[in-house]
Structure 1
């Protein structure tokens, strides 16, 4: 099979998996979210002003390193399990559920930090779904890694909310009883 044909088979499988959904497909969204979140963290690190810039200076290096490590580890786990992983900018852009805005770099630092906190929160939705699917599919190494990432993100949300003087749940997604769309 030619390389283009192999890639087209991969794309078809990914499309089917996203409509099923599978742990691998849901984890593809996690990877795309991590990819974009790293870009947003870097933007805030470079441009935030005010007191939040001090918080970001302290935390963003760890955030970038940790997210990159999880990104690499999760990719490896998917590949050894025969799952498709997003590898192109177009795929990352298609699969991410985070929103970016180049003008955000001019927002007050506290707003940039809060946006990153809300991004962590958005990522938790995908982590929880991928964890549940991974358990059903018996992908326990993936599940353990995703649980660790979930815990790390929740810790970052708490630190950021505390710095901003917010209640833990301020601005975060709260499930309604009608939200069972998965």
Structure 2
């Protein structure tokens, strides 16, 4: 097969995996979110003002480095499992579920920090799905890696919320109760 045919076959398989879904497909979303979050952290580091800029500047290098380490580790792990990984900007943009807005760099620093915390929280939703599917598919190394990433992000959410003086769950996703009021 030519390189173009191989790439088209990869795209076809990725589309099929996203509709199934598989642990590899959901992990593709995790990779895209990690990639975009690193860009957003850098933007906040450069533009945040006020007290929150101190926290962001203290944490930014660690956040970017840790996210990059997990990004590389997960990519390598997926490839060793025979899974395709997103590699183009177009794929990262398509698979990322985080929202990006260039105007946000002019928001108050505390708002930029809160946005980064909410992005961590959004990423947790994909972790839970990838962990469940990974267990079903017997991909325990992937499960353990994502559990480690989940633990790290939860600790960073707590640190950021504490800095902002927020309750841990403020602004975060919470399941709605489906209780019947009969």
TM tier relative to shorter chain: over 0.9
The SS at the match of 2:174 is coil
CA distance in structure 1 between the aligned counterparts of 2:45 and 2:132, rounded to whole angstroms: 33
CA distance in structure 2 between the aligned counterparts of 1:141 and 1:176, rounded to whole angstroms: 32
The residue number in structure 2 matching 1:45 is 45
CA distance in structure 1 between the aligned counterparts of 2:165 and 2:55, rounded to whole angstroms: 13
The residue number in structure 2 matching 1:31 is 31
Q: How does 1:33-112 map to 2 (within 5 A)?
A: 33-112=33-112
Q: CA deviation at 1:175?
A: 1.1
2:141 aligned with 1:119, yes or no? Answer: no
The residue number in structure 1 matching 2:130 is 130
CA distance in structure 2 between the aligned counterparts of 1:175 and 1:100, rounded to whole angstroms: 24
Normalised by the length of structure 2, the TM-score is 0.97
Gaps of 5+ in 1: none
The SS at the match of 1:125 is helix
Q: CA deviation at 1:42?
A: 0.2
The residue number in structure 2 matching 1:168 is 168
Q: CA deviation at 1:176?
A: 2.0
CA distance in structure 1 between the aligned counterparts of 2:10 and 2:145, rounded to whole angstroms: 24
Q: CA deviation at 1:114?
A: 0.1
The residue number in structure 1 matching 2:158 is 158
Q: How big is the alpha-carbon RMSD for the aligned residues of Structure 1 and Structure 2?
A: 0.7
The SS at the match of 1:7 is helix
Normalised by the length of structure 1, the TM-score is 0.97
The residue number in structure 2 matching 1:6 is 6
Q: Deviations over 1:71-92 (max 9, x none)?
A: 0000000001010100000000
Q: CA deviation at 1:33?
A: 0.2
Moved over 2 A (4+): none
CA distance in structure 2 between the aligned counterparts of 1:175 and 1:121, rounded to whole angstroms: 13
